[in-house]
Structure 1
Amino acid sequence: MKKVFTLRPQSGAFSLQLPIVPIVFTLCLFLMMVVLMIVGLSLGSTWVSPLAILQYFIGIDVGANTFIIESLRLPRMLVALLAGAALGVSGLILQEMVRNPLASPDIIGITGGGAVAAVFFITTFSGVLPMSLLPLAAMLGSAIVSVLIYALAWKQGISPLRLVLIGIGINAAMSALTTLMIIFSPINSSSQAYVWMTGSVYGSSWSAVQQMFPWIGCAMILALLCARAVHVQQLGEDVAKSLGARIQWQRLGMITVSVILAGVAVAFAGGISFVGLMAPHIARFVIGRSFALLVPTAAIIGGTMVFVADVIGRTAFLPLDVPVGVLVSGIGAPFFLYLLYRNRKG
């Protein structure tokens, strides 16, 4: 018999049982992420010892290293971590809601909408409006395209297969539109847009961290609060309906949370592909199917993937700074082909 940890508030409003072994695995992943963060903060054109990193975090002055850690490396790492965590959970939600292992925000067009809006903003309003409005434009684009996909997929309810197929078509259209805008825009604007499209956290600031954290934090909490509803849906649509679940409303709410997470990630980190596809699969392999544990695990795995890729991109190719999206895609594309091969009979 599996040992479980029961989460039950004093109000008795709900009860949630979590298996202990997966919780231990999740905590181990978190500790591994912290160690990798310390290593990542140490690496760069200027070496900063891990001891100096630890001293900085406990408030001890580390001299010139303070500027390197506080102004150059830490905000960039946190933006990468938050963006990866958001994409990981966004992909997890989509895969659970549409019951398709190939679903992710970049494949079904959610991040594509954000990319179109961001490139349009860069190529049209660069120098006219402040670039601080770029994240808002990207989030708005993701939201509009998501509404379009949902509306086109609606036919007396949402069919998961229809939603994925329409999303793939919309994503192709968004990609073509983005390319056209870059081709016909001035060279300075098109270069800036292209770098953003590849997925880059270069030049990230504490302002970006402060803007990302509330959105992602609230969306993560909403996802965890909906864990019980997702567990019911995992039993199958017929069983869920017999238990009184309002499946269509639950799907709409969860997909909205997924859109928020993907929109925030693409707004601040650009077009990073395949994280939303890979992180949920790795999380399920590690801890199983419990959605309440999959949310933090997918967040840890997604965040770790992105910030580790960014550390490699800024250190392994000095003096070049390779965008994180390029490195992640190098791993994600073969993983996507593997999933296609594994699910070919479906």
Structure 2
Amino acid sequence: MNILTKRNIITLIVICILIIAIFLLSLNTGTLHIAPLDVLQTLIGQGTHQQELILFDFRMPRMIVAILVGAGLALSGAILQAISRNGIADPGIIGINTGAGLGVIVFVSFLYGKMPVDSFFSVFVLPLFALVGALAAAVIIYVLAWKQGVTPIRLILVGIAVNAGFGALLLILSLKMSPNNFQFATIWLAGSLWGTDWKFVLAALPWMLILLPLAIYKARFLNALNLGDPISTGLGIHVERERAKLLFISVALAGTCVAVAGGIGFIGLIAPHIARKLVGPKHQILLPTAALIGSFLVLASDLLSRSLLTTTEIPVGVIISALGAPYFIYLLMKTK
């Protein structure tokens, strides 16, 4: 079946247009409003020094981080849903994000005084700590869920339990922090897109440039795994090896996103479901569509977080959770 149908192409174009529109709108929205015409003039090098500072040093890196994080979390969730054959799998729900967060909080707790979290070296070390934490969570979930194989329902239930346990450890470490570190941890846990300068873009970009294309390249294996292990084996696929590779890609994507954006949940749940309704189940088109939808959702949520209240900024994770929690309940009610 041809996946690049006219409808699918139009869908991708429309989502891209929406992302560009939200991106431009976000550039002129904030504490200091910049008119759309001034934004365009600044982008072509004819703005004031203040406008260039605001757009290029503060807002634009934040928007790029939002795009990368949305795409990464969406693909991570789509991969988890495919390898577990469970529509409610999500890195935030089953504990992958919390494991990555625990890695970040361990870094902040023990190395923050010697190495400020926003220093150049720390920015590039943070994704490694997040990856280790996410991998630890994934291994624990997989081992505990294994009982002559891994069933979708066991994976979800064990993941929720591990998520709660890691969350408790994370809270204990947070309470033992100094006031400054605790403030950082609180903001980070809410999912605040805290990494908002070019250092964080440079820290996340290499991982994303490798992992995003690799995930899309593995789409045919995801299609096969959706058919079940016996059929996948009959097609000549080494099921456990490919599942392990795909799980690592999903965990690495989630860990990188958590390192630069904090505890943002539900994107990996919502974006793949919307993409599936729009373009169908084939992962060759589902994955890029989900990535674009995830980017749009995070960008739009970030815009809302800076626009709803004039006196303060709502964490992006709170906006997304307000949208994602009802949808998760709806999926649970539909799941047999």
Q: TM-score, normalised by structure 1?
A: 0.89
Are 2:38 and 1:46 aligned? Answer: no
Separation (CA, whole Å) in 2 of partners of 1:135 and 1:261: 10
2:115 matches 1:129: yes
User: Residues 314, 202 of structure 1: CA spacing in aligned structure 2 closer, same or farther, 3 A cutoff?
Assistant: farther
* Number of the residue aligned with 2:102: 116
Query: In structure 2, how many angstroms separate the alpha carbons of the residues matched to 1:237 and 1:53?
Result: 53
**Secondary structure in 1 matching 2:183:** helix
Which residue number in structure 2 is paired with residue 78 of structure 1? 64
Aligned equivalent of 2:9: 23
Stretches of structure 1 that go unaligned for 5 or more consecutive residues are 5-16
* Correspondence for 1:146 among 135, 138, 141: 138
State the number of aligned residues: 329
**Offset of 1:203 from its aligned partner?**
5.5
In the other structure, the counterpart of 2:255 is 263
Mapped pair 1:89 → 2:75: yes
Matched residue, 1:61: 46
Q: Which amino acid aligns with 2:255?
A: G
Q: Matched residues in 1 for 2:174 and 2:202: separation?
A: 30
1:75 Cα deviation (Å)?
0.6
* Deviation per residue, 1:185-209 (Å, 9 max, x gap): 3333222211111111245111111
Task: Determine if contact 2:195/2:260 at 8 Å carries over to the other structure.
Answer: no
- Structure 2 counterpart of 1:211, from 188, 203, 208: 203
Alignment of 1:165 onto 2:153: no
Structure 2 partner of 1:232: 224
User: 1:114, CA displacement in angstroms?
Assistant: 1.1
Q: Provide TM-score, normalisation by structure 2.
A: 0.92
Do the aligned partners of residues 46 and 190 (structure 1) sit closer, same or farther apart at CA in structure 2, a change above 3 Å counting? closer
TM-fit CA distance, 1:298: 1.0
Deviates more, 1:256-265 or 1:131-140: 131-140
- Contact 1:108 1:166 survives alignment (8 Å): yes
1:246 match: 238
Contact 1:115 1:270 in 2 (8 A): yes
Q: Percent of aligned positions with the same letter in both sequences?
A: 37
C-alpha deviation, 1:315, in angstroms: 2.6
Code of the aligned partner of 2:222: V
1:176 aligned onto 2:168: yes
- Deviations 1:223-268 (Å, cap 9, x if unpaired)? 1111122222233333222221211111111111101100000011
Partner of 1:104: 90
Please, what is the CA RMSD of the aligned residues?
Answer: 1.8
Structure 1: which amino acid aligns with 2:9? I
Q: Aligned match of 2:22 in 29, 33, 36?
A: 36
Any stretches of 5+ residues in structure 2 without a counterpart?
none
For residues 87 and 176 of structure 1, the distance between their equivalents in structure 2, rounded to whole angstroms, comes to 23
Separation of aligned partners in 1, 2:180 and 2:45:
43
Are the equivalent residues in 2 in contact too, given 1:114–1:141 (CA < 8 A)? Answer: yes
One-letter amino acid matched to 2:53: F
Find the residue that maps to 1:18 and give its secondary structure. Answer: coil
In 1, the alpha carbon distance for the partners of 2:240 and 2:37 equals: 52
